[in-house]
Amino acid sequence: MFKWFKPFQLLLLLMMSVLLLSACGSISSSATKDSQASSQIAASQKNKAASDANTQASATRQYTDKTGRNVEVPAAPQRIVYIGSSPGDLLAIGVQPLGASLSVIASQVAYPDLLTGIEDVGYPYSLEKIAALNPDLILFDDWSMDQFEMLEKIAPTVIIGNDHPVDMMDRLHAIGTVLNQTSAVDKWMATYKQKVQTTRASLKLSDNATVSSLLLFGNTMYIMGNQGLNQTLYEQLNLKPNANVKKLINKNERFISVSNELVSDYVGTDLFLLTSTDSETIATQSTLLSSPVWKMIPAVKQGKVYVLDSKWNFDDPITSERLLDELVRIVNKTNG
């Protein structure tokens, strides 16, 4: 009675199988198309990012440096070589150069911990070492040195200093502009200025204090004018110089050498003595401190001499910021 059912059932099952396979094929084809589309989009985005990076790296702009030269520089330099004595100018805003002049200053600066990974290009610099780094920008803070034209043959070269002392803030602004890092400069300056205010309020110095700094270097003594430590003392902390030091600053003198007999003419109510541990400097310091002239200086007699390592006589942003903590420590320790 039900013999017709089995053939009908088989036919029905066959039709359902065909429909199911057709549906699966459609889903598989759709999924494949979606996957291919996603891959194409990802590849397109990757290619665009690479293209944008290449475009940015190859893009250039004009920059007028300290000497009035118009230099075509990378819009976003990536391979920077710095020639000069203040690599801290770059490090303060988070830029690490590939190479820098470290042979003279590496053991003298207050931030040796930040120099790891930077190739020493020498001072005087080595053209071969600089060329080997394949820089896309060279920053140069001493235009008077020989072979400047040779640097330009290696990479665009921007002069960020000149034959006159350049204020740290002005120098940092210039570097921020040429490196397209002005926002980083603004951020650092805001933090630094706040720290300067805190430091000035914390220093235990009399309101009528006049300060000077004396650098001992080898067998020579230098009264500092408008460079190094004094930029922090006078320009940032707004401390007053000794009258004769003020004359040096008015004449735009960075420093002058002095004899034991003339040191007292440049010492204010408080004196910062900058020295080091090399044997020749130690001998000079010993001779000075034991001399009758030294012992008669009012600041010496009143215990107003603050001895600092000569590494603090740089005026780059890293040194200047760390110096503020050192000044509070040593001045307040001496003055109770």
Reading the chain (336 residues) residue by residue, the pLDDT tens digits are 433 333 334 333 334 444 333 444 444 444 444 455 345 434 444 554 444 445 455 699 999 988 888 999 999 999 999 998 899 999 999 999 999 999 888 889 999 999 999 999 998 899 999 999 999 999 998 655 556 788 999 999 999 876 556 788 988 999 999 999 999 999 999 999 999 999 999 999 999 999 999 999 999 999 999 899 999 999 999 999 999 999 999 998 999 999 999 999 999 999 999 999 999 999 999 999 999 999 999 999 999 999 999 999 999 999 999 999 999 999 999 998
- Which helix (DSSP H) or strand (DSSP E) does residue 206 occupy? none
User: Rounded distance, CA 325 to CA 94, Å?
Assistant: 21
User: Terminus-to-terminus CA distance in the chain, angstroms?
Assistant: 118
Q: Are residues 162 and 220 in the same domain?
A: no
Q: Please indicate, yes or no, if residue 153 is contained in any of the structural domains.
A: yes
In a domain, 192, yes or no: no
CA dihedral 69, 72, 74, 79 (to 10 degrees): -60
The DSSP output letter for 235 is I
Are 133 and 233 found together in one domain?
A: no
What is the torsional sign of CA 168, 170, 172, 174?
negative
Are the CB atoms for 223 and 248 separated by under 8 Å? yes
In the listed set 118, 149, 183, which residue is the last one of a domain according to the structure? Answer: 183
**Distance between CA atoms of residues 308 and 314, nearest Å:** 12
Q: Can you say whether the dihedral through the CA atoms of 63, 139, 172, 99 is positive or negative?
A: positive
Last residue of a domain, one of 123, 150, 183: 183
Name the CA dihedral angle for 143, 145, 147, 148, rounded to a multiple of 10 degrees. -10
Residue 30 domain-assigned (yes or no): no
Is 40 among the domain residues? no
Tell me, yes or no, whether 177 and 215 share the same domain.
no
Q: Is residue 200 part of a domain?
A: no
Task: Specify the CATH number for the domain of residue 133.
Answer: 3.40.50.1980
Name the helix (H) or strand (E) containing 72. Answer: strand 70-74
Structure tokens given for 208 = 């009528």
pTM attached to this predicted model: 0.79
- How confident is the model at residue 17, as a pLDDT? 44
Number of domains in the chain: 2
SS3 228: coil
Mark whether 160 and 278 lie in a shared domain.
no
As a 3-state breakdown, the chain gives helix, strand, coil percent values, each rounded to 5, of 50, 15, 35
Regarding whether 212 and 171 lie in a shared domain, the answer is: no
Q: Report whether 215 contacts 274 (CB < 8 A).
A: yes
Two structure tokens written together for 311: 């590494």
> Amino acid identity, residue 305?
V
Which residue's structure tokens are 């000035």? 200
- Domain carrying residue 259: 205-334
Are 175 and 251 found together in one domain?
no
Asked whether residue 149 is assigned to any structural domain, the reply reads: yes
Q: Say yes or no: 263 and 145 in one domain.
A: no
Residues 68 and 149 in one domain: yes
Interior angle at CA 232, CA 295 and CA 192, nearest 5 = 145
Last residue of a domain, one of 119, 153, 183: 183
